[in-house]
């Protein structure tokens, strides 16, 4: 019953002619009107018992689909209900549950293969426009902005959504880079609606080593608190009392701060940190320096180590740094060096060339802001 009731509520939003659902909010808040399947699913609760258990099973399907694909949550919920209902009927009729599972897996494999054969690559601007407009529930203005964004930054480029201050949706293309690592704790979140950390004009601290003691970052925290400046820390690891101190400063003093684990491993990680440091104008704190001498810096020395950028957006999976304030000459020199290494060093392996191209793309990358 719980699975059926949830699927009925979510299913009415299916397709371009799907209907809206009104969700009651907390006391005094305006009801939410939405056509997004996963939003509807998350809002449904049946208390305790088997009814709620069935609803939670389908709710997890919608949430997982949203995290994996970002769309199709209503379709996934409707399909899951059909499989669930039919499966229960077959088991009640005497079918072995393990045989049923094997049959479902064979069916999924067959359907996925057929879908691969039917699928068509997205090639043209019109293809992107059509897909984006459909995904935006037929909103041609949003679809046009997304298609324009892809034209500007490429299909593998970075597109970020932010709340604006005007009455219309707008597209802005800025310099920026993306890291495939997100926040270390959800306590850092500043935008609950989008579950993101959003920092404006933040300082950026980059460390090659681990940061574990409160003493090592205390001068930097005091500097950011006194200057009322947001702070992003990127390090090999941020743990123990250092991470606890950052969380407490966020909760108790409302300091906008976030900690992110440096992406990559070994030499590749060092290269990524070097690219970030050039982009934002930070000095990398070497591994042997971090915990031993970081606490001995005065405010002027602290500023020399810290980088700056216009804004940072951090989700649980990625970090987007836009308009780093590093030296344009240093950025240009690094780009020229990478290009010459790719073109002139004949001894480079394909793997090494690919990593150099990744670094080049990172430093020359642009971010589309909608």
For residues 185 and 317, membership in a common domain is answered with yes
Q: For residue 73, what pLDDT is reported?
A: 92
Give the global pTM.
0.66
Q: How far apart are the first and last CA of the chain?
A: 41
CB atoms within 10 A of CB 356: 18
CA 326 – CA 296 distance, rounded (Å): 25
In a domain, 34, yes or no: yes
Contacts of 272 (CB under 8 A, 6+ apart): 179, 262, 263, 264, 359, 362
Each residue's pLDDT tens digit, 257-270: 999 999 888 888 89
Structural domain boundaries, residue 192 = 181-324
The predicted model gives 323-343 an average pLDDT of: 89
The predicted model gives 39-55 an average pLDDT of: 87
Q: Is the pLDDT of residue 323 over 80?
A: yes
Evaluate whether 114 touches 125 at the Cβ level (below 8 Å).
Answer: no
pLDDT band at 359 (very low <50, low <70, confident <90, very high): confident
Q: What percent of the chain has pLDDT over 70?
A: 96
Evaluate whether 130 touches 283 at the Cβ level (below 8 Å).
Answer: no
For residues 100 and 191, membership in a common domain is answered with no
Q: Is the pLDDT of residue 177 over 70?
A: yes
Q: For residue 113, what pLDDT is reported?
A: 96
For residues 63 and 142, membership in a common domain is answered with no
Minimum mean pLDDT among 34-48, 96-110, 338-352: which range? 338-352
Evaluate whether 18 touches 74 at the Cβ level (below 8 Å).
Answer: yes
Pairing of strands 257-261, 32-34: unpaired
Count how many residues are written for the chain.
370
pLDDT band at 156 (very low <50, low <70, confident <90, very high): low
CA 281 – CA 296 distance, rounded (Å): 21
Q: Is the pLDDT of residue 226 over 80?
A: yes
Evaluate whether 361 touches 157 at the Cβ level (below 8 Å).
Answer: no
CB atoms within 10 A of CB 121: 5
CA 132 – CA 119 distance, rounded (Å): 16
In a domain, 213, yes or no: yes
Residue 43: both structure tokens together = 């809002």
What CATH number has the domain bearing residue 256?
3.50.7.10
3-state secondary structure of 363: helix
Which of 135-139, 215-219, 291-295, 343-347: highest mean pLDDT? Answer: 215-219
Each residue's pLDDT tens digit, 111-139: 999 999 999 888 888 999 998 888 787 78
pLDDT band at 292 (very low <50, low <70, confident <90, very high): very low
Average pLDDT, the chain: 87
For residues 194 and 319, membership in a common domain is answered with yes
DSSP 183: B
Minimum mean pLDDT among 51-65, 110-124, 299-313, 321-335: which range? 299-313
Evaluate whether 44 touches 51 at the Cβ level (below 8 Å).
Answer: no
Evaluate whether 179 touches 208 at the Cβ level (below 8 Å).
Answer: no
Q: For residue 91, what pLDDT is reported?
A: 94
For residues 132 and 93, membership in a common domain is answered with no
For residues 105 and 131, membership in a common domain is answered with no
For residues 114 and 130, membership in a common domain is answered with no
CA angle at 184 for the pair 179 and 187, rounded to the nearest 5°: 125
- Which of 72, 96, 118 is at the close of a domain? 118
- Shortest CA distance to 315 belongs to which of 143, 219, 184? 184
Q: Is the dihedral of CA 10, 16, 22, 23 positive or negative?
A: positive
Q: For residue 220, what pLDDT is reported?
A: 87
The residue written with tokens 């070097």 in the block is 274
CA 294 – CA 169 distance, rounded (Å): 44
Each residue's pLDDT tens digit, 12-35: 999 878 899 999 887 778 888 888
Contacts of 51 (CB under 8 A, 6+ apart): 1, 2, 5
Q: What string of DSSP letters covers 267-335?
A: HHHHHHHHHHHHHHTPPPB-TTTHHHHGGG--HHHHHHH-EEEEEEEE-SS-EEEEEE-S-HHHHHHHH
For residues 316 and 202, membership in a common domain is answered with yes
CA 10 – CA 34 distance, rounded (Å): 11
Each residue's pLDDT tens digit, 233-281: 999 989 889 999 999 989 988 889 999 999 888 888 898 999 999 999 9
């Amino acid at each position: 019953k719980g699975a059926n009731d949830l699927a009925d509520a979510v299913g009415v939003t299916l397709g371009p002619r799907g209907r809206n659902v009104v969700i009651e909010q907390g006391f005094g808040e305006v009801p939410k009107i939405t056509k997004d399947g996963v939003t509807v699913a998350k809002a449904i609760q049946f208390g305790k018992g088997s009814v709620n258990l069935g609803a939670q099973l389908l709710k997890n399907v919608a949430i997982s689909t949203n995290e994996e694909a970002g769309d199709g949550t209503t379709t996934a919920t409707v399909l899951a209900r059909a499989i669930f209902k039919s499966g229960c009927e077959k088991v009640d009729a005497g079918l072995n549950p393990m045989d049923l599972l094997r049959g479902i897996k064979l069916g999924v494999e067959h359907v996925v293969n057929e879908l691969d054969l039917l699928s068509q690559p997205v090639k043209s601007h019109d293809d992107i426009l059509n897909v984006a407009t459909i995904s935006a529930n037929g909103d041609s203005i949003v679809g046009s902005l997304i298609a324009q964004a892809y034209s500007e930054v490429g299909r593998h480029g970075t597109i970020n959504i932010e709340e604006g201050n005007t009455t219309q949706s707008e597209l802005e293309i800025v310099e920026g880079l993306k890291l495939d690592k997100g926040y270390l704790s959800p306590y850092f979140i500043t935008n609950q609606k989008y579950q993101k950390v959003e920092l404006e004009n933040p300082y950026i601290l980059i460390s090659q080593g681990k940061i574990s003691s409160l003493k090592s970052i205390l001068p930097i925290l005091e500097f950011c608190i006194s200057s009322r400046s947001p702070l992003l820390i990127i390090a090999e690891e941020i743990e123990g009392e250092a991470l606890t101190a950052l969380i407490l400063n966020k909760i108790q003093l409302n300091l906008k701060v976030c900690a992110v684990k440096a992406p990559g491993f070994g030499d590749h990680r060092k290269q990524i940190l070097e690219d970030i440091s050039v982009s934002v104008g930070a000095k990398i704190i070497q591994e042997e320096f971090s915990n031993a001498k970081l606490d001995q810096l005065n405010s002027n020395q602290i500023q020399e180590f810290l980088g700056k950028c216009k804004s940072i957006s951090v989700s649980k999976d990625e970090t987007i740094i836009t308009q780093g304030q590093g030296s344009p000459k240093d950025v240009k020199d690094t780009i020229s060096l990478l290009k010459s290494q790719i073109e002139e060093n004949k001894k480079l392996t394909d793997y090494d060339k690919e990593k150099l191209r990744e670094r080049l793309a990172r430093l020359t990358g642009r971010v589309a802001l909608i």
